Chains A and B, each alone.
Chain A
Amino acid sequence: MSEEFKVEIVNPEKSFLVKDDVSEVVVPAFEGEMGILKDHISIISFLKPGIIKILSKSGDENYYVEDGIVEFKNNNLSILTSTIFNLADMDKSKQQDLLKQAEEEANKTDINDQSKYLADQKVEVLKTLN
């Protein structure tokens, strides 16, 4: 029996990625990283800024996301996100831009705890990419 399932990443503009030979996906869920294998129980969760790792036969891929929702059902994993970048396409300057934006956001004083936490997360993740 194959150990593969289907993953679909959708952003508001288009269907970003569809892959059906995925063996494992690691998503940065809100309460910590979560690895999803085939036949995982149906789950809905949302994401914090981090890296989505997709492991498949045709090669591994890494994506940087800032927010989103994951839904897993019947061996279909849907990830809805508004900001996603393929790490392979992301060059240093883009990374720096994002980092600068995130830092600015984190340094604002008039934001609530949750957005502050999210902004801090962004900064942290982006720094580890360097």
Chain B
Amino acid sequence: MASLDDLKKRIASVKSTQKITKAMKMVAAAKLRRAQESAEKGRPYSEKMNNVILNLSNGISDKENAPKLLSGTGQEKTHLCVVMTSDRGLCGGFNSNIIKKAKSYFAEILDEGKELKIITVGSKGNDQLKRVYGDKIIENISFKESKNANYFDADKVGKMVIEKFEAGEFDVCTIFYNQFKNVITQIPQAQQIIPLNNEGEESSSEESYEFEPDEDEILSNLLPKNISTQIFKAMLENSASEQGSRMSAMDNATRNAGEMVDKLTIEYNRSRQAAITKELIEIISGAESL
């Protein structure tokens, strides 16, 4: 059995760990509120954008010559996957869930004999993927300096994706992120952004629009913006999910630490009493033998 001194030290160390996890939980809770708010505020923009594009693509007259960002390159040989994770750890299964989702997708693609390219956003994803898919990662971006998800960063990623698309480096682009549902549930998502997947969605209006300039030109201007918007949306969802995930992970850790302290305290008291009893027996039997 561990000595009294050891137990004391362990209790103290678990207690201080508990203090840290508790503080982290508080911070995550505060940040979560903000992240959730901005995720909600950001929704109208991406929804409206989606709507406009939907209306546009329905109104487009010449489907054959539609912009490639909408209709694809006509083949599906090279897949680009943008895996979006956090830059910081200690947030439960947040990163592993995205990675798991992404890895199963990667395996599928490689099984079909297609080519795979990966862009990682956030350093944690890069850390986990580089061991297995190191040679597939073509770019690694992280926004450690930015405090909150902002459009400027998303635009940078979007522009890079489009640049690569125009250079013919890939045919299909999918982004991976965690969709925020509530504090305990985040759903890893794989969303295809190039070519745009609008199947199953019906246009909200039957009436036709007037376009100025014509549809093609608007579309070719709008689609690159839409890529950035979708990435931005993913970033917002991700940051809300990260904080939510961290909050529940830290909550668990705090509770576990509490249980551990209780257990150790009982053990400490038992061994203290045992030591006292032992001493008493020694004294008494010493006195008797006189």
Residues of A within 8 A of B (CB): 8, 10-15, 29-31, 34, 41-46, 67, 69, 71, 73, 78, 80, 82
Contacts and interface: CB of A to CB of B under 8 A. Distances in A.
Given A13-B151, A30-B213, A31-B213, A44 B41 contact: no
Nearest to B152: A82
A80 B52 contact: yes
Interface stretch (B83-91, B182-190, B202-210, B277-285): B202-210
8 contacts: A11-B151, A12-B151, A43-B210, A44-B56, A44-B218, A45-B211, A69-B52, A69-B222
A107 to B, nearest CB: 20
Given A31-B212, A45-B211, A45-B212, A10 B222 contact: no
Nearest to A114: B221
A78 B208 contact: no
Contacts of A34: 212
B180 interface: no
Given A43-B210, A82-B155, A10 B56 contact: no
Q: Which of B209, B211, B229 has its CB near the most chain A CB atoms (within 10 A)? A: B209
Contacts of B41: 13-15
7 closest residue pairs by CB, A with B:
A14-B41, A12-B151, A45-B212, A43-B210, A42-B209, A10-B45, A12-B45
Given A10-B44, A29-B212, 16 more contacts: A10-B48, A12-B151, A13-B42, A14-B41, A34-B212, A42-B210, A43-B212, A44-B56, A44-B209, A44-B212, A45-B211, A67-B225, A71-B48, A78-B48, A82-B151, A82-B225
A41 B210 contact: yes
Given A44-B209, A69-B222, A15 B44 contact: yes
Contact of A13 (B38, B207, B209, B221): B38
Nearest to B38: A13
Nearest to A67: B225
Contacts of B151: 11-13, 82
A8 B51 CA distance: 15
Nearest to A15: B44
A71 B213 contact: no
Nearest to B232: A12
A82 B229 CA distance: 10
Nearest to A34: B212
B92 to A, nearest CB: 27
A50 to B, nearest CB: 15
Interface in B126-182: 150-151, 154-155
Nearest to B233: A12
B196 interface: no
B218 A14 contact: no
A121 B290 CA distance: 109
